[in-house]
A and B are shown apart, each in its own frame.
Chain A
Amino acid sequence: MAYLTNNSGDPDPVIVWYTDHPDNLQITPGSGNLSATLTALAPSPTQTPYDIKVFAVVDNVQTNNLPVYIDTPYYINTLGPVDWPGGCPTEKPAEPFGWWTTVTNSVLDWTGILVLSKIDLNETIENFKFLQNPTTWNFGAPVAGAWPVAYWSNNTFIDNLSLCASTLDGWVPAITAYNTGNTTPGASDTQKFWVGTTMHFAGECVAIDDTQFNSGFPTQTPWIGPGPTPTQQQLCAQGNSWLNN
C-alpha cells in the first residue's frame, strides 16, 4: 500500500497514479486516490533493487518517485539424486525391491543469492518421453506432487525418485549402469516447480529441471530458469512450457 499526504491546500485534488512498469506492477487507487494498493505482476525488470518507479500527479504536479523492487522465486538449487539403498523396504514395505533416491531442492530468488524459506510449491511433469523405441518400460510416468510448507525441512524440500516393486521377477529390470542410450528401458521428463495457482495466477514459476531415469539410476540436469520475460514467467506458472525440448 502506498499513501499520499495531501499538503497541497486543495481539499479535493485531482490525483492520478502512475508507474513506469505497468507490466510488472498494478496500481489500484484507494478511496479519494490518497492511497493505492500495489500488486506485483512480475519481477523487477532489471534484477536491480528499486528499479520500478511509482509516482502520482496531484493537480498536475508530480510527486517524488516511490522506488519499488519486486523479487521472485526463480531458480531451483538441486542436490542429488542421492542413493538410499534402504529406501524401498523402509518406505514401501510391500514393494521392497528396486531403488530409492532423494533429491533435495531449495528455491533461490532471481538475484541468485537468496535462499527462500518455506512456500507452498506445485510440480508439473512435462515432456515425458521414452529413451528406448520401442520401449519395454512398463512403469508409466512419474507422478507430479506438491510440497506445502508442512512438508518442507528448514528451507529445503525433498523429492524422491524411486522405483519399488513387490518382486524382482518381471517388475524391476536388473539394475544396470545408467546410460541415456536408446537401448535401455529408460525415460526422461521435465520437472517444473511453481507457486501460485493455475486458476488465479498470483505467483511465479520457479524453475525447470530435466530429469532422466531408467532402471539403473536417475540423473538431473542443472537448474534452468523459467524465462526472462513476464510472459514466459506466466506461461511457466500456468503449466505451459516455454522451452522447446
Chain B
Amino acid sequence: MKRKRCLLLARIPILLAGSALGLQASNLGDAAAKADAVVIGTLTSLLQSQSNVTFDLTVERVLSGAGVPATAHISHNWNSPSAGAAQTTSVTVTGIWLLIGSSSGSWDVVPVKPFNYFGSLFFPASAPPPAGVLGYPVGTPLQDSLAFETAWGLLQGRGDPQDLLSVVSPGAPSTAAVLGAFTASPLTSFQAIGLAGMLETNTTGAISKLASLWPQLAGEPRRGLVVWALGGDWRDTTPAGASQLAALVNSPAVTGDLRAAAIKSLAATHTAASLPVLSTLLFDGNLSDEIWAAIGISAFVNGCNMQTPATVPGLDHLKCSSNQYGSSDTLAHGVFGIGPPERQASDVAYWQSWWNSHPGVH
C-alpha cells in the first residue's frame, strides 16, 4: 500500500522580484522624512554647473524643523551633464524644499524627483500662504500641510498638476479637501487629476463625481489616469457601491475604456453584491466582458480575498478559502487572469455552465 505522508499543504504564490512597498505614505511625505527641515522658499537666481547648483533661498514659511535662517544658502552636488558649463540664471522660483543642514552653515536639498535637473529639487508652491478651502492652521501635520501647499501652488499654475498625486494619502485629513479643490477647477487637467486621486484614495463620493465630470474630459489627455485608478484602486464592497459601478457599466454615455475599468473594479471585489452585474456580463456575448465576469465570479465562489493594491505584493488575493459554493473543481477552474485566447473560451464556458447549474447563488 502506498503511504501518504509528509503533507505539503499550502499553496505558495510568489511575485518574482516582488513589489516593495504598500500605499500608505505619500511620495513627498517619504522624502520629507529624510530632511532636517521642510520650508516654502523663493529664489531669484541660481548658479548651476554639471557638478553643483547653488542659490540663496528666502524662507517664506517653515513647515517642519528648527534653526532655519531667513535666507538659507543652498549648495547641492549633482551629476548633471545636461547642465553644461557653469552659468548664473536669473529666475524667480517658489517651491517646497526639503533641507539638510551642515556644519558649514550651508544647506543641501533632498531631491524629490529622479534625474538631476533643477526641477527635481523641489515641489511647486506659492509665496502667499494657502487660503480658502486649502488654508490650514498652525500645528497641522506635515503630511497634510505638504498636500495643502502643493495643491495651492499647482492651482496657481506653478507646476504639473499631476504632482498632486505624490502628496495625497488615503484617509489623511487633507485628502478630500485638496482633491475637491482640483475637481472644482474649470480646467479639465485638474479635474482629471482630482478624480484620479479620489479613486486612488477611495475617497467617498468619487463615483458620483466621476459620473458628472466624465463627459467633459473627452479631450483631456490625462483622463487615462482616471481609468487606471478606477480599475486598479477603487474598491467598494457595499451593495450601493456595486450599483454605482453597474450604472457606469450600463450607461450609454460611458466610454469603452471607463466601462472596462468599472468591470475590472467590480470583478476585484469578490462579493455577492457584484454578482448581478457580473452574471449578466458572463452571458453578454462579448468575450472580454465574459472573461472578466468569470474572473470575478470564480474568485467569489472560491472564497478568494478581495484584490486591492495592498494585496499585490504578497499576492494575498490568490489565497482562497472554501465557502459554501466552492469545491476542488471550482478551484481547479479558478480564473486568475485573462489568459491566452485559446483558454478564454473554455474558462467562460465552464463558469457559464456553473452559473446555470447553481440557481441558489443567483
Question: In this assembly, does B326 line the interface, its C-beta being within 8 Å of a C-beta of chain A?
Answer: no
**With an 8 A cutoff between CB atoms, is B106 at the interface?**
no
Residues of A within 8 A of B358 (CB): none
Q: Is the CB of B117 within 8 A of A91?
A: yes
Whether, in the assembled complex, B23 has its beta carbon less than 8 Å from a beta carbon of chain A, the answer is yes
Partner among A58, A93, A156, A203 whose Cβ is within 8 Å of the Cβ of B93 = A93
Among A108-116, A125-133, A173-181, the one that faces the other chain is: A108-116
Inter-chain contacts of B16 with A (CB < 8 A) = 40, 42-43, 70-73, 203-204
A14 interfacial contact with B, CB 8 Å: no
Q: Indicate whether A27 reaches chain B with its CB closer than 8 angstroms.
A: no
Closest to A72 in B: B16
For chain A, which range describes its interface: under 10, 10 to 19, 20 to 34, or 35 or more residues? 35 or more
Interface flags for B213-235 (1: CB within 8 Å of A; 0: not) read 00000000110110010011100
* Cβ A114 vs Cβ B312 within 8 A: yes
B224 nearest CB neighbor, chain A only: A79
- B316-338 contact mask (Cβ, 8 Å, vs A): 1 or 0: 00100000000000000010111
Which listed segment binds B: A142-150, A183-191, A208-216, A218-226? A142-150
Instruction: Tell me the complex Cα distance, A116–B158, Å.
Output: 30
With A43-B16, A47-B340, A106-B228 known as contacts, the answer to whether A69 contacts B11 (CB < 8 A) is yes
Is B7's CB under 8 angstroms from A5's CB?
Answer: yes
**Are B315 and A71 interface neighbours, CB within 8 A?**
yes
Contact B340 A158 (CB under 8 A): no
Chain A, residue nearest B160 (CB): A84
Bound: A48/B298 CA distance, A: 14
The answer to whether A235 has its CB under 8 Å from any CB of chain B is no
Chain A residues with CB below 8 A from B338, complex form: 111-113
Name the contact of B339 in the complex, choosing from A48, A90, A106, A158 (C-beta under 8 A): A48
B242 at the interface (CB under 8 A from A): no
Judge whether B6 and A56 touch: CB under 8 Å.
yes
Among residues 86 to 100 in chain B, which have CB atoms less than 8 Å away from a CB atom of chain A? 87, 89, 91, 93
Compute how far the CA of A204 lies from the CA of B15 in the bound complex, rounded to whole angstroms: 10
Q: Is A92 an interface residue (CB 8 A)?
A: yes
Of the candidates A80, A116, A156, the one whose C-beta lies within 8 Å of that of B221 is A80
Q: Could you list 14 examples of A-B contacts with CB < 8 Å?
A: A7-B6, A42-B16, A61-B4, A64-B7, A65-B8, A70-B16, A73-B16, A92-B118, A111-B339, A154-B23, A154-B309, A155-B232, A160-B115, A202-B17
Chain B interface (Cβ within 8 Å of chain A)?
A: 2-23, 27, 30-31, 46, 48, 81-83, 87, 89, 91, 93, 113-115, 117-120, 124, 157-160, 162, 165-166, 200, 221-222, 224-225, 228, 231-233, 264, 295, 307, 309, 312-313, 315, 318, 334, 336-340
